[in-house]
Amino acid sequence: MSDIAYVAEGRTMVVRSLRLSLRNVDSLITALALPVMLMLMFVYLFGGAIHTGTRYVDYVVPGVLLVCVGFGAATTAVTVSHDMTSGIIDRFRSMDVRAEALINGHVISSVARNMASALLVVAVAVAIGFRPHGSPGGWLEAVCILALYVLAISWFAAAIGIVVRSPEAAQGITFLVSFLPYPSSAFVPIHTMPPALQSFAHNQPVTAVADTLRPLLNGAPAGAAAWHAIAWSVAILVASVALAGALFRRRLS
Amino acid sequence: MTPHTAIEAKDVTKSFGATRVLDGVDLCVEQGTVFALLGPNGAGKTTTVKILGTLLVPDRGQATVAGHDVVGERHEVRRRISLTGQYAALDELQTGAENLEMMARLRRLPGRTARVRARELLEQFDLTEAADRRVERYSGGMRRRLDLAASLIDRPEVIFLDEPTTGLDPRSRQSMWALVTGLADSGVTVLLTTQYLEEADQLADRIAVLDGGRIVAEGTADELKERVGGSRLELELGDSEAFEEIWERVGRGALRADRPSLTISVATDGGAGEVRALLDELDPDRVRIRRFSVETASLDDVFIALTGHHTPTTESEAVYV
């Protein structure tokens, strides 16, 4: 197959996945409602009781961002699983569509969807008093770090979507991924947690990403945390792409 | 393999875990003909189609489709075939036109050509009015038509249809039959699977009966019918007492016996002499048999005779002997 044909096939699959996302009313409503609900809940219900040394809204924006995009990226497992368990996978394979093009379509669409969701989170935050002081360069860096994380989690979810037996089972992974920000620095400072939980919280990707985004949005340099965040995302991405490829071949032999 | 052979399979065997699904299947389908693989659920029909369609690799044996090996040259094969599975392979959230355009793009047609081809097919399959409606709002018959249209985008040489009419109402089934007949007339080779004897009879030039992963018979519909004597005598009994009595007398000669409707079928050559003798032998007092008729043997009878069990589509209160 020529390079041009590869690109054309990839583009066709991205268009397909974007269209399917935009028309899936249930998940679209969830994607729009979740950022608003979470932001209001954390700032107005829990925020008063949590002491972070800063205004809570300034602290919590990365946390809400990571819950929303984590959940959104994890739904890639559901869309991939839907394709794998409906008749369409056989049609695509008998048409010689590459597995990479199919999965990539879902992943790219997930990144687009979740970056839009992230924009909504920030808009809601600003509406309730978040006043970020980050420089344009800092913001750009934050956007890239977040996009890389979404890309990694989407690929991870895609690998899960290939291996599970039904879209309902794939739903389980969305719960797991959206829970990951709670035992991290995203909502409360880690030193307030029990020791066992502290060591977990210090060594998981959400803490690294949250600790990178928070200073960048508020006008401070991210320091070593940025490298941790990049390392985590790249590691998850590489492992997931390899895993997805292997699982795809095994599932369909 | 002659140049006129579209599909050839030799000793194709496939197991899933400890279950042997196909056990040495041999097939030969001539170019431009319709071939039906007839069998009950679990006979191995879908597995056969998936192997011939390059989606599964056989454990043993080999197969060529459109002149290419389904394992070693699967990309060559894929360029020349289309495969339509049991469940409509379409995106529910895309419209009929969008689905077809997507398939056309994946078949490497440029944008404009893809749009034109999609409209052509929608018209050919009587879906122009529904073109811009999402597939989730299509009826079962419309989905199958769109699915079949999607498989024709690239004018394949060989078309595999896995149970194309399962679950359709009689009218939609008729229209699918007409479409398949039309395909055959245009010169493509069609291999379809079915549980419906009538469907194989109507559509196929040749039929292979698949049971428990083996081909138990192959031939034209008429050849297969010949194997059970050509005709059957249908007897309708006066009451249940008469039914039991006659059934006992017929013994192993019965093709089937249905208690609720008090009917028994007996194989016969259909000649007047034999039918008269049978009636006299079974009912010498001429009071038990209320009515009789002589019917041409159906494929259903063939199936029972060949496999010792009936097909799922003839499920009834009938007792098969």
Confidence at residue B193, expressed as pLDDT on a 0 to 100 scale: 95
- Considering Cα of A203, then A209, then A215, then A216, what sign does the dihedral take? positive
Taking a C-beta distance cutoff of 8 angstroms, is the pair B154, B101 a contact?
A: no
Confidence at residue A231, expressed as pLDDT on a 0 to 100 scale: 97
Q: What is the C-alpha to C-alpha distance for residues B240 and B263, in angstroms, rounded to an integer?
A: 10
Confidence at residue A252, expressed as pLDDT on a 0 to 100 scale: 67
Taking a C-beta distance cutoff of 8 angstroms, is the pair B9, B70 a contact?
A: no
Q: Which token pair is B256?
A: 């089937």
Q: What is the mean pLDDT of residues A124-149?
A: 93
Instruction: Please indicate if any CB of chain A lies within 8 Å of the CB of B291.
Output: no
Q: What is the mean pLDDT of residues A193-214?
A: 94
Q: Check residue A243 and give left, alpha or beta (phi > 0: left; psi -120 to 50: alpha).
A: alpha
Q: What is the C-alpha to C-alpha distance for residues A180 and A71, in angstroms, rounded to an integer?
A: 10
Interface touch A91/B86, C-beta < 8 Å = no
DSSP letters for chain A = --HHHHHHHHHHHHHHHHHHHHH-HHHHHHHHHHHHHHHHIIIIIIGGG---SS-HHHHHHHHHHHHHHHHHHHTHHHHHHHHHHSTHHHHHHHTT--HHHHHHHHHHHHHHHHHHHHHHHHHHHHHTT------HHHHHHHHHHHHHHHHHHHHHHHHHHHHSSSHHHHHHHHHHHHHTTTTTTTTS-GGGS-HHHHHHHHTSHHHHHHHHHHHHHTTS--THHHHHHHHHHHHHHHHHHHHHHHHHHHHT-
Which residues pair with residue B267 across a beta bridge? B232
| Contact list, A10 vs chain B (CB under 8 Å) | none
Instruction: Please indicate if any CB of chain A lies within 8 Å of the CB of B223.
Output: no
| Contact list, B87 vs chain A (CB under 8 Å) | 86-87
Q: What is the C-alpha to C-alpha distance for residues B296 and B78, in angstroms, rounded to an integer?
A: 41
Q: What is the C-alpha to C-alpha distance for residues A154 and A151, in angstroms, rounded to an integer?
A: 5
Tell which wins on pLDDT, A199 or B254.
Answer: A199
Collapsed DSSP state (helix, strand, coil) of residue B11: strand
Interface touch A91/B93, C-beta < 8 Å = no
Confidence at residue B168, expressed as pLDDT on a 0 to 100 scale: 85
Collapsed DSSP state (helix, strand, coil) of residue B222: helix
Taking a C-beta distance cutoff of 8 angstroms, is the pair B304, B320 a contact?
A: yes
Taking a C-beta distance cutoff of 8 angstroms, is the pair B239, B262 a contact?
A: yes
Q: Taking the CB of residue A193, how many other CB atoms lie within 10 A of it? A: 17
Of B54, B93, B98, the CB nearest to A94: B54
> DSSP strand E in B242-288: where?
254-258, 263-268
User: Which DSSP state fits B239?
Assistant: S
Interface touch B150/A12, C-beta < 8 Å = no
User: pLDDT (tens digit, 0 to 9) for every residue of chain B, 321 residues total?
Assistant: 455 899 999 999 999 989 999 999 999 999 999 999 998 888 999 999 999 999 999 999 999 999 999 999 999 999 999 999 887 789 999 999 999 999 999 998 998 999 999 999 999 999 999 999 999 999 988 999 999 999 999 889 999 999 998 888 888 899 889 989 988 888 899 999 998 888 898 899 999 999 889 998 899 988 887 776 678 889 999 899 999 989 888 877 777 788 888 999 887 878 889 899 989 999 998 889 999 998 877 767 777 777 766 554 443 334 443
Interface touch B94/A16, C-beta < 8 Å = yes
- ipTM of model over 0.95: no
Q: What is the C-alpha to C-alpha distance for residues B301 and B242, in angstroms, rounded to an integer?
A: 24
Q: Where are the domains of chain A?
A: 3-251
| Long-range residue pairs from A121-124, CB within 8 A, at least 24 positions apart, any chain | A121/A35, A121/A39, A121/A61, A121/A64, A121/A65, A121/A68, A122/A61, A122/A65, A124/A35, A124/A36, A124/A39, A124/A40
Confidence at residue B320, expressed as pLDDT on a 0 to 100 scale: 43
Instruction: Please indicate if any CB of chain B lies within 8 Å of the CB of A23.
Output: yes
| Contact list, A12 vs chain B (CB under 8 Å) | 102, 105-106
Q: Which helix (H) or strand (E) holds B184?
A: helix B170-185
Confidence at residue B318, expressed as pLDDT on a 0 to 100 scale: 41
Instruction: Please indicate if any CB of chain B lies within 8 Å of the CB of A16.
Output: yes
Interface touch A253/B102, C-beta < 8 Å = no
| Contact list, A9 vs chain B (CB under 8 Å) | 105-106
Q: What is the mean pLDDT of residues A174-188?
A: 89
Q: What is the C-alpha to C-alpha distance for residues A61 and B33, in angstroms, rounded to an integer?
A: 66
Which residues pair with residue A199 across a beta bridge? none
Confidence at residue B4, expressed as pLDDT on a 0 to 100 scale: 84
B260-297 burial, b at 16+ Cβ within 10 Å, e below that, comes to eebbbbbbbebeeeebeebbeebbeeeebbeebeeeeb
Confidence at residue B317, expressed as pLDDT on a 0 to 100 scale: 37
B5-219 sits in which CATH class?
alpha beta
The contacts of residue A242 (CB under 8 Å, 6+ apart) are: none
- Testing the interface with B: which of A15, A83, A91, A93 to mutate, by most B Cβ within 10 A? A91
Q: Check residue B206 and give left, alpha or beta (phi > 0: left; psi -120 to 50: alpha).
A: beta
What is the distance in angstroms between the Cα of A178 and the nearest Cα belonging to chain B? 26
- Calculate what percentage of chain A has a pLDDT beyond 90: 70
Q: How many interface pairs between A and B have CB atoms less than 8 angstroms apart?
A: 67
- Calculate what percentage of chain A has a pLDDT beyond 70: 99
- Considering Cα of B176, then B183, then B47, then B211, what sign does the dihedral take? positive
What is the distance in angstroms between the Cα of A149 and the nearest Cα belonging to chain B? 28
Q: If you measure CA to CA, which chain A residue comes closest to B87? A: A87
Confidence at residue A140, expressed as pLDDT on a 0 to 100 scale: 94
**Predicted confidence (pLDDT) per residue in A49-91, tens digit:** 888 888 899 899 999 999 999 999 999 999 999 999 988 998 9
CATH fit for domain B227-314, picks 3.30.450, 1.10.3470, 1.10.10, 3.30.70: 3.30.70
